[in-house]
Amino acid sequence: MTAIRALIGLGNPGQQYEHTRHNAGAWFIEAFARACNTPLRPEKKFFGQYAKITYQGHELHLLVPTTFMNRSGQAVSSLAKFFKFPTSAFLVAHDELDIPSGQARLKQGGGHGGHNGLRDIISAQGNDREFMRLRLGIDHPGNAKLVTNHVLSAPGKAERQSIDDAIDASINVLPLLLQGDSARAMSQLHSIK
């Protein structure tokens, strides 16, 4: 397995989207940056908010694209090209309709599952899907027609707390993931209900 070198959190830019469920991936990066006392700063060449940190002996690049979700690949591919990272060196955090709020799942590779941010990253990386995903559950509204409104709405207080708890649990398994022990990281994270 390729060592993870960059953590990317997907979302939409601007205050109107900041607190919406679709920004759960961005919330993960923001929470991790806060935990590391590292501010994210605008970085034009990576089309996003960026920071470089050393975490438990690992050099990591943190990025929240400031492009819209369906243009996330622009930010990811610019980071990949600049540092000459393979796609497999990325952990991409994103909201996931098929997982209940308050749960998070790690997954290596796979398709985009209809997620526009993942679709654009896969496309921008020449159809390379071999990156690790951190899927942060936001629940499904129950009807496909309600999905857009659901992901672009803010969760209630209790739901937001459950998502934040899942983010904290995800941060707690990062050391295992960075050591290359994805099986144990998944086992630990996936056991949280």
Please report, in range form, the residues annotated as the binding site for tRNA: 17, 68, 70, 116
Q: DSSP letters along 69-98, please?
A: GGGHHHHHHHHHHHHT--GGGEEEEEEETT
Q: Distance between alpha carbon 143 and the CA centroid of its chain, in Å? A: 24
What are the CA-CA distances from residue 178 to residues 14, 90, 174 (Å)? 31, 11, 6
Catalytic residue among 19, 22, 140, 150: 22
What are the CA-CA distances from residue 17 to residues 12, 22, 127 (Å)? 6, 8, 28
What are the CA-CA distances from residue 86 to residues 92, 110, 190 (Å)? 13, 16, 26
**Does 22 qualify as catalytic in the annotation?**
yes
Pairing, β 58-65 against β 6-9: parallel
Strands (E), the chain: 6-9, 41-43, 48-55, 58-65, 90-96, 104-108, 132-137
> Which residues line the annotated binding site?
17, 68, 70, 116
Pairwise CA distance, residues 118 & 90, whole Å: 12
Active site residues: 22
